[in-house]
Amino acid sequence: MKRLLALPLALLLVAGCNEDPPPQAEPPGPVVHTDTGDVRGIVHPDRRVFNGVPYAAPPVGDLRWAPPEPAKPWTGERAATKPGSACPQNKNAIANLASSNEDCLFLNVTTPKSASPEQRKPVMVWIHGDGAIGAGDQFDPARLAVTGDVVVITFNFRLGVFGGFGFPGLEHSGTIGLQDQRAVLRWVQRNAAAFGGDPANVTLFGVSYGATATSAHLMSEQSRGLFHRVIMQSGFTLMDMPAGATYPGLPALPWYGWTTTKDAETQGQVVAKQLGCKDLACLRKVPAPKLLAVPQVMNIFQPYALGNDQLPPDPDKALAAGNFTEVPVLSGTTRDEHTTFVAFFRELAGSPVTAAGYPELLRTAFGDQAAKVAAEYPLKDYPTPARAWAAVITDRMWARSQLRQNQLLSAKNPLWFYEFADRDAPLDIPFPKGYDPGAWHAGDVSYLFPDSKSTAAMRPDQVALSDTMIRYWANFAHRGDPNGTGVPEWKRFSGPGSVQSLAPGKIAPVDYEQEHRLAFWRSLEPK
């Protein structure tokens, strides 16, 4: 994850004086009038930045687990020079970020210097991943905004138990985080023009949990008209999970990333019992740190609930029936999605994948078809058992569901399909020593939000790939098509052979179906 660092530069010219010069005031930053008050940001040579802008009221007290309320207007100028508090979350091995502050519904705006109410730019609204950790300011949009000539908005939304909680009698159980995101999109419609953004050209994009949230807005009638293009990076809209595929001991799940309202409310009752509460009034008085300490919610994302006034009961049926917003789509995965999950939920968790244990993993996940899977993915073909298991689940869970999702979306929407394939991408999360993650889940994010640290870790050909990806994403935001001057041609998706592989020095179509052995996986499906 990336942090945006604003470092003021003071140039002091002193002549003929032995005393320390008096402190010099920084030049005033730009002021923009929003519908709740004026905000003063930071001016850089190539961009303007406004951090910590409230987009909704603090969701505290009776507003915990309530849909976002309008932010309270203020008088005078509000400093927009620092990000607002991250939403409540526990620190973990991936992110050194912890918060118990529920007053967290803030957004950040980065605009190219030329953006103005008269010269409006496309707006790109980023939903970060994970669902239990993270914050908008962890991503540096400077190069995307400046090189892409777009306005970029990052933001915080309620996470984990605060965003996906369900309970009997709670209206909108399991959809609160989704409604926070929609509140940002509505804020954009009201305020983007003042920052030099075009509210009639909004691209909603996200990674992992954020990409699945983006697909939720595609399917939700309440979000229609609030965005005009979508980009989904490694989402799991139609992904089921074989037993033990992600977490040891976890049974097979029909959805990875979704739940039902009933199941969300049942889980909420378990949490309430742990806290000694019988009703919502009691739960709303539980201090945030105590709520975060409940084992059922610690660092675990809460899936969004299906089958309510926000989301359909079955995403697969909704996409198959064409019940989604008609907008251009850019969607894809990384080449080795599941290596990240094997690293953190097995290798680092004390349950490493071994040669002796590999057959049992296959039996647990695939039952009487395990022998066929073992023959298709023999250990001898992989450097380690961990990589063999990661290959199995990458193909079965990720590639299989991504292809079906994009096939269904492309029946109605123009769609461009990619695969990020840099197997030597810089690492910004702590993988086990000696572990080779390949083109890992979310490894493409630093190519779109590069900061000085990630750029310094890149080879020249990787920097060139980052520049090309930024141009693809920005072209898509401008015109609904990633193609443009100075980038390799990217054909619109028309089948598994028209997937664009994004690798250093090798940007070209790849046969996604063959690469991920999807004909084999289809052969195992019930007839």
Q: What is the pLDDT of residues 469-517, one digit of tens each?
A: 999 999 999 999 999 999 999 999 999 899 999 999 999 999 999 999 9
**pLDDT per residue over 154-205, tens digit each?**
999 999 999 999 999 999 999 999 999 999 999 999 999 999 999 999 999 9
What is the pLDDT at residue 97? 86
Structural domain count of the chain: 1
What is the pLDDT at residue 28? 67
| Domain contains 373 | no
298: CATH: 3.40.50.1820
| Domain contains 15 | no
Residues involved in catalysis: 208
**Residue 163 to residues 58, 89, 181, Cα–Cα distance (Å):** 14, 11, 10
Q: What is the DSSP string of 229-257?
A: EEEEES--TT--B-TTSSSTTPPPBS-SS
| Domain contains 88 | no
| Domain contains 11 | no
Average pLDDT of the chain to the nearest whole number: 93
| Domain contains 190 | yes
**pLDDT per residue over 391-423, tens digit each?**
999 999 999 999 999 999 999 999 999 999 999
What is the pLDDT at residue 223? 98
Element (H, E) at 53: strand 47-54
| Domain contains 77 | no
- pTM of the entire predicted model: 0.94
What is the pLDDT at residue 25? 38
pLDDT at 15 over 80: no
* Among 48, 52, 50, CA closest to 115: 48
**Residue 28 to residues 31, 38, 42, 307, 358, Cα–Cα distance (Å):** 9, 14, 8, 50, 62
* Among 304, 308, 324, CA closest to 178: 304
CB 165 within 8 A of CB 268: yes
| Domain contains 91 | no
Alpha-carbon span 265 to 359, nearest angstrom: 37
What is the pLDDT at residue 295? 84
Alpha-carbon span 133 to 177, nearest angstrom: 13
Alpha-carbon span 153 to 216, nearest angstrom: 19
Question: The domain containing residue 498 runs over which residues?
Answer: 54-70+114-133+145-352+398-520
Among the ranges given (61-70, 250-259, 294-303, 442-451), the one the predictor scored with the smallest mean pLDDT? 294-303
Could you tell me the pLDDT band of residue 4, with boundaries at 50, 70 and 90? Answer: very low
pLDDT at 1 over 70: no
CB 122 within 8 A of CB 150: yes
| Domain contains 502 | yes
Task: Provide the Cα torsion 241, 243, 246, 250; round to 10°.
Answer: 120
**pLDDT per residue over 133-151, tens digit each?**
999 999 999 999 999 999 9
